[in-house]
Structure 1
Amino acid sequence: MTPPPGWYPDPSAPSVQRWWDGTGWTEHRQPPAEAPIPAPVPVPVPGGDGSGRRARLVALTLAGVVLVASIVTGVVVLGGGDGTTDPKARDSTSGEPSSSGASPHENTPSPSATSEPAADDPAVVVDELNGITLPLLDGWVRPKFTTDDSMVMSTDGTYDCPGDSGVCRHGAVMSRTVTANDEKSPRVLALKDIEDAADDWYDRDSIDRRPFNGITSHQRVKAGQVAVAGRTGYYVRWRVKTELGPGGYVQSLAFPSSVGTESMVIVRYVFDAGSDGPPLADMDRITKGIRSVNDADTGGGVGQSMEPLPTP
């Protein structure tokens, strides 16, 4: 028996709640909701007024809650640690940001970690981990369920992948923190990430499916410096052709975060080509609208607050 997906007390930190996806713990946590004080369990009194049945119902409900909590704890203990192992996760010294190893296409959904709306602006997506907000343009939504917890937004709706089984999205934007190395050059990071960004979406995903039967060719169509939230960044954009489907456009954008230790951040964009894909200009609109979570008025966009990039 395994408990259903839901928020449960974190075994490693009982003061917070953690998301159980039905098979293991994810990294999603939230403050615990204030639990109401349970009403006393009534003692059944013969008399045919139904109080005995109500008492048994309350007792069975409380017993079920205790059973679910016990099963969750038992699975964690038997699985070792917090159960968040991922044999497909990539963390090399080649300069690419660490990937969650989850398929960018739908399989077993889990809640997204970085797609919460701003409290005072529903048209903005907040990525607290990387210290940025991104504009939510028309035609884009916060993904409620996704196998890639770095996805911050996607186009609305899905379609059947033309290759291997599964459903695909016409567009998505993901953000990651670079943790695999100490590289600080946005240009170097963007150039090293772009191939992985294309492969992960259009060639072969992390669970070895080929949603478009693989990439047949690619061409660099754009690259250069860009200011992101007042910081100097660099982006690379490819046009990718696939064996099945119209192919698409992939962009890797690298820039330093303005919060915490100012770690380098990679934002990936994947847009299907053709009439069903999102407007290519949305890549520039989203980039220009990225802001620091600490300063909503921080400037961004091409040509603002530029600084020379070091030669790699």
Structure 2
Amino acid sequence: MSPPPGWYPDPHAPHLERWWDGTAWTEHRRTPEATAPVPTAAGNSGRAKAVAVTTAAAVLVAAIVTGAVVLGQDDDPEIATATTQAPTTSEPPSPAPTPTTGAPSADDPSVVTDELNGITLPLLDGWVRPKYVADSDVVMTTDGTYDCPGDDGVCRHGLVISRTVTSNDERSPEVLAKEDVKKAAEDAYDRDTIGRRPYGGMESHKVVESGPVAVAGRAGYFVRWKVTTAKGPGGYVQSTVFPSRVGLEAPVCVRYVFDAGEDGPPLADMDRITKGIRSVDDPEGGGGVGSSVGPGPGEGLGG
């Protein structure tokens, strides 16, 4: 069956879209972002007039050729049986073309983009882009704030932080995740950058989950702690480390800081966000906790 008329990827220039009129390709092309009107056989623009004139000329030539064939039927029987149907200039792709959908872009409201590390992260319900946050590595927060239970200040029930690991030459995601989770817990629940203790200090912690994880198609590792604080319900922190796909492929660490208790975000959001992380140059490559991919050259899971 022939596909219906519409804009489809041009078989000769996949970065463009071309108008399929239901039976053949036309000469109308556009970039995927363009919103040009559907071309018609007649119009007020100069281009439409040019197309109409060209089409009329082609019909006239076809009529002349057909007349010549009919007139010559008595002289040449082979000409009399010749077909007069002109061949099409291009066949539709097989299978039939389908309209392009496109991958999420940096302007997509459902994702946030970490351009430095070349990844996008899904913006789930209840999460917003950071506002009035001093740490430039924070990529999203829960919506709203509350008064910290310890020292004066404003706290948030959830933070997601994405940064490049540059503190040493270590490349093992497992080693780096185990090192980072301690600092992540201290930064979030013990003492802030100006010496305040928004939760009265961190009293204890325990590892609740850890292991290999595939993130944006790369082999990584995660460690999750449950933290008990002097004031407030405490919380959960997780450090997820995986190699970047950009530049020198330096390790990327995505930190999660979730308050415990009924006001904190669902703990499952950590896994949902991890699973939804994508590389900007490979938007189809996903992952998630419990998934794994084979490490690339020089890319181990550590020991």
Work out which of the residue numbers 254, 266, 279 in structure 2 matches 1:279. 266
What is residue 128 of structure 1 aligned with on the other side?
115
- Conserved in 2, the CA contact under 8 Å of 1:236 and 1:252? yes
Give the Cα separation in 2 of the matches to 1:262 and 1:159.
38
Residue number among 203, 218, 223 corresponding to 1:231 in the alignment? 218
In structure 2, the partner of 1:169 is 156
- Counterpart Cα distance in 1 of 2:292 and 2:167: 28
Amino acid at match of 2:159: A
2:108 is matched by which residue type in structure 1? Answer: D
TM-score relative to the length of structure 2: 0.63
Alignment gaps of 5+ in structure 1: 1-116
Check whether the contact 1:230–1:304 (CA below 8 A) recurs between aligned residues: no
Rg larger in structure: 2
For 1:222, the equivalent position in structure 2 comes to 209
* Cα deviations by residue, 1:9-31 (Å, 9 ceiling, x for unpaired): xxxxxxxxxxxxxxxxxxxxxxx
Paired residue for 1:253, among 231, 236, 240?
Answer: 240
**Deviation readout 1:190-223 (Å, 9 max, x if unpaired):** 0000110000010001110100010111010000
Q: Could you tell which deviates more after superposition, 242-251 or 295-304?
A: 295-304
- Residue 259 of structure 1 deviates from its aligned partner by 1.0
What residue number does 1:155 align with?
142
Equivalent pairs counted in the alignment come to: 196
1:298 Cα offset (Å) = 1.4
Separation in 2 of the partners of 1:243 and 1:256?
36
Distance 1:158 1:296, change over 3 A: same
Q: CA RMSD in A?
A: 1.4
- What SS class does the counterpart of residue 110 from structure 2 fall into? strand
2:58 corresponds in structure 1 to none
- The answer for unaligned runs of 5 or more in structure 2 is 1-103
Aligned residue for 1:146, secondary structure, equals coil
- Quote the offset at 1:179 in angstroms: 1.0
Distance 1:303 1:238 in 2: 18
> Which of 176, 179, 199 is the equivalent residue of 2:186?
199
The DSSP-based 3-state class of the residue aligned with 1:176 is strand
Deviation at 1:246, TM superposition (A): 0.1
Cα gap change, 1:273 to 1:260, in 2 (>3 Å): same
2:175–2:302 contact (8 Å) kept in structure 1: no
